[in-house]
Amino acid sequence: MRNLCMKVNYDGTEYDGFQTQPNGNTIQDYLESAICSLTGERLKITGSGRTDAGVHAYGQVFNFHTESPIPIERWCLALNAWLPRDIIVTDAREVPLTFHARRMAKRKTYRYSINANRFPDIFHRRTQAHHPTKLDVQAMEQGLAHLIGTFDYTSFASRRSQKTNHVRTIYEAYMTVDHSFSRPGSDDQGIIHTYITGSGFLQHMVRIIMGTLLEVGEGKKSADDIPFILEAKNRSKAGPTAVGHALTLWSVEYEENIKKH
Amino acid sequence: MRNLCMKVNYDGTEYDGFQTQPNGNTIQDYLESAICSLTGERLKITGSGRTDAGVHAYGQVFNFHTESPIPIERWCLALNAWLPRDIIVTDAREVPLTFHARRMAKRKTYRYSINANRFPDIFHRRTQAHHPTKLDVQAMEQGLAHLIGTFDYTSFASRRSQKTNHVRTIYEAYMTVDHSFSRPGSDDQGIIHTYITGSGFLQHMVRIIMGTLLEVGEGKKSADDIPFILEAKNRSKAGPTAVGHALTLWSVEYEENIKKH
């Protein structure tokens, strides 16, 4: 018996999220089906966590136990041959039998991308929310800074969250603005990427954070409202859940000796 | 009568090229249909030039004469409302009645993108050729430099070219290598973007240049073969026509007073 840990990138546009659903068409289903085609084993993989329908991953991690003797360096290309073009396994390594991709994940980073130019970006529209009207990015950054720390994030969790404990830690969060697609002389505001690194995330947490920060950017809320929203522990105090297709699970980190990124 | 000049971006994946074809499904067809929906006019637009099936544009330019009184600042959003999501008009201005988008184009720039990493890039696979095996980028750059100047590019033109004169000028050509998607510690070679600016381009010219440079990168040809290939004026001396979906018409430039980019 071997325990294999892999990294997978996917364009989530056409899928119903990472985790197996009754209707199929999830990333997990396609990965398990590719493994079965390769080894004949009907096994279950363990992802580092779910991603919603339409959400992408640049560095999702999963593991599974296999009896297959296939050498580790052959797995990526062999699995990719069985996978659709928008799911790509980019790393495979053998890990101790005790390794568990979800329970042992230490830090996760998500990226949320907002195109604040006047027009959609034809080459990245699958991974960007389009917000052509005026945004106060500085206020959004101030609001984001209030979210760094260890808090009960109930206000920023889906009401359907089944977790009993909503305390999480956000270690790091920042925004970058890319002007390389802005038209010279226009009022294009650039592509705003928000990176948020935390110990773990509640259902819809990044999207609700972003929906709230967009309201801050629009002037509907103030950056200094954020601490009160956190304190309220009440979903209705935060902003709407921002669209999922602009969200990408960017990386998952483990203890140094089994680091994946 | 007004003469309007517009800039359009498109993801060419789903289309049969820019210029009208008997079967429809071209960028020009969709633009003319959107204009007709807006103004009721069945008119013909003039593009700065064709692009092949599957080729993209980040700054294609076209013009047309219209009787419509719609104010110039309304055109982009109004046309975009009628266009598919992967065709976007990003600029509209009124130009002298004598302006002609093809005849008056002074310089065109194309970009060709090669992913030389081991795995395809999930977020840019529609606009990249994937070439995971070893490429000598320095040799490719040396080969590219030999193509700068004024030459008869018959060796780099489709045999179906109907132009009587194959003399063109390449003003500028260079490569950039983007390592932001390379996996640390891997032998990923990065994303190689080649930018070529010229007075005009023959049918398939950039793709044949790139197919030839890929042979140079693979060691099948030497950079110093390029002058002899040019001199031969014989299509069979150059390399194959590289895939179209990695090519993007990047910008079109006009005289200073009517500059579009």
State yes or no: pLDDT of B261 exceeds 50.
Answer: no
Distance CA A131, CA A143 (A): 18
Range of weakest confidence among A148-152, A243-247, B166-170, B177-181: B177-181
State yes or no: pLDDT of B137 exceeds 70.
Answer: yes
Q: B256: pLDDT confidence band, cut at 50, 70 and 90?
A: low
From A76, A122, A127, residue closest to B11, measured CB to CB = A122
Chain A interface test: which of B117, B122, B125 (most A C-beta within 10 Å): B122
Q: A261: pLDDT confidence band, cut at 50, 70 and 90?
A: very low
CB B122 to CB A11 under 8 A? yes
State yes or no: pLDDT of A258 exceeds 50.
Answer: no
Q: Cite the residue boundaries of each domain of chain B with CATH code 3.30.70.660.
A: 107-252
CB B86 to CB A122 under 8 A? yes
The reported pLDDT for the residue numbered A259 is 47
From B88, B124, B126, residue closest to A119, measured CB to CB = B88
Q: Are A144 and A174 in contact, with CB atoms under 8 Å apart?
A: yes
B110 is in an annotated binding site: yes
The number of residues in chain A equals: 261
Both tokens assigned to A115:
């195109």
For residue B182, give the chain A residue with the closest CA.
Answer: A90
For residue B84, give the chain A residue with the closest CA.
Answer: A122
In B, which residues are within 8 Å of A122 by CB distance?
9-11, 56, 58, 86-88
Distance CA B55, CA B204 (A): 11
B182 touches chain A (CB under 8 A): no
Q: How far is CA B251 from CA A115, A218, B59, B147, B261, in A?
A: 21, 33, 5, 20, 7
CB A124 to CB B125 under 8 A? no
Record: fold of B2-104: Alpha-Beta Plaits (3.30.70)
What would the DSSP string read from start to end of A156-208?
GS-TT---S--EEEEEEEEEEEE-TTSPTTS----EEEEEEEES---TTHHHH
Question: Catalytic pick from B11, B16, B52, B225?
Answer: B52
The reported pLDDT for the residue numbered B259 is 47
Cβ-based neighbour number of residue A140 at 10 Å: 23
DSSP A47: E
A29 is catalytic: no
A13 touches chain B (CB under 8 A): no
Distance CA B169, CA B149 (A): 5
From B80, B88, B119, residue closest to A88, measured CB to CB = B119
User: Higher model confidence: residue B180 or residue A209?
Assistant: A209
Cβ-based neighbour number of residue B56 at 10 Å: 26
Tens of pLDDT, residues B74-133: 999 999 999 999 999 999 999 999 999 999 999 999 999 999 999 999 999 999 999 999
State yes or no: pLDDT of B258 exceeds 70.
Answer: no
State yes or no: pLDDT of A205 exceeds 60.
Answer: yes
Domain B107-252 has what CATH class? alpha beta
Question: Catalytic pick from A11, A16, A29, A52?
Answer: A52
Q: Cite the residue boundaries of each domain of chain A with CATH code 3.30.70.580.
A: 2-104
Distance CA A126, CA A245 (A): 6
Residue A195 Cα, gap to closest chain B Cα (Å):
16
From A120, A123, A125, residue closest to B127, measured CB to CB = A123
Checking ipTM against 0.90, whether it exceeds it is: no
Q: Note which residues in 194-253 of chain A have CB less than 8 A from chain B.
A: none
- Radius of gyration, alpha carbons of chain B: 19
Share of chain B above pLDDT 90, in %: 92
Distance CA B30, CA B38 (A): 12
Chain A interface test: which of B56, B73, B123 (most A C-beta within 10 Å): B123
Q: Which helix (H) or strand (E) holds B47?
A: strand B46-47
Distance CA A250, CA A24 (A): 24
Question: What contacts B58, CB < 8 A, 6 or more positions away?
Answer: A122, A123, B9, B111, B248, B249, B250, B251
